[in-house]
Structure 1
């Protein structure tokens, strides 16, 4: 005969098992698509703004059949660009991704991370990821130029969603 206690233990184990996929879901990679219209006159990251938790992975995938793209952190180690990722965070540069190729990065330091596509920065192909819940200092304007570096084009600066917008919505899409 099965006791009431045994049934409760089985039921508790079953409920704990149902909760497991949720935890796994939080650890899954988040995808940002690199896209462009058919004639190549407009290119973008989708989403353009995203908030994730520390330790989460982002996977960029090139879904633009007519262009190769990069995903490159704004950092002095990447072509002497301005520092627009948190101090102590590791910069990245995917190199050129052909259609259907992808690149992944795991971000662990809380803060604001700005990135761009090397050949399409002048077309405004930039994006922003917020990791965790950065303090007020992270919401202040980021530098536009590093010493001796090239200024970020105005079209790119206008394309970044605000930190407040990303924190409010979690995901910002613009096409």
Structure 2
């Protein structure tokens, strides 16, 4: 069988599409999973997409600011980041990307299994938060408290993330 250029391009496109559509939790440890920082043109709404994601221990999360009108952060709920309540597993380090301008990115490798909650410093009160489940987690979720009401309402449930693998914004 002769492989034509058209057939080769078709196979390559199919492979790219399959990789783009697979469940992030099925990716290999070390693979990078992308979370977009976004907002409306007038800046009235901001969000992470996906807002909830399940990954394997050792995978890398990359946040990319695709919002042309705002700077954003990815900051773990962790005492090391502005003395915030711990909402990451015991033994897991916190992180703070600092302000990312449009087009900038930040990466973290998560290895400790459990639930990681994070937020955008300037937009937490607008509900710009996200949740990552690494490995398996109790679908009953997390205790509330100590966070703005808009942030608490925005988190997808751990059970939904465990069932779906990825939860896109609303």
TM-score range relative to shorter protein = 0.7 to 0.9
Quote the Cα distance in structure 2 between the aligned partners of 1:164 and 1:139: 7
Q: Would the aligned equivalents of 2:52 and 2:155 in 1 still touch at CA under 8 Å?
A: yes
Q: Would the aligned equivalents of 2:61 and 2:108 in 1 still touch at CA under 8 Å?
A: yes
Q: Which has the larger radius of gyration?
A: 1
TM-score, normalised relative to structure 2: 0.81
Q: How does 1:145-164 map to 2 (within 5 A)?
A: 151-164=146-159
Q: How does 1:79-118 map to 2 (within 5 A)?
A: 79-118=82-121
Q: Would the aligned equivalents of 1:84 and 1:143 in 2 still touch at CA under 8 Å?
A: no
Q: Would the aligned equivalents of 2:144 and 2:152 in 1 still touch at CA under 8 Å?
A: no
Aligned match of 2:9: none
SS at 1:51 equivalent: strand
Aligned match of 2:143: 142
Runs of 4+ with >3 A deviation: none
Aligned match of 2:162: 167
CA shift for structure 1 position 141: 2.5
Structure 1: give runs of 5+ residues left out of the alignment.
1-20, 145-150
Structure 2: give runs of 5+ residues left out of the alignment.
1-18, 20-26
Aligned residues: 145
TM-score, normalised relative to structure 1: 0.79
Quote the Cα distance in structure 2 between the aligned partners of 1:140 and 1:38: 33
Quote the Cα distance in structure 1 between the aligned partners of 2:89 and 2:75: 14
Q: Would the aligned equivalents of 2:56 and 2:134 in 1 still touch at CA under 8 Å?
A: yes
Aligned match of 2:124: 121
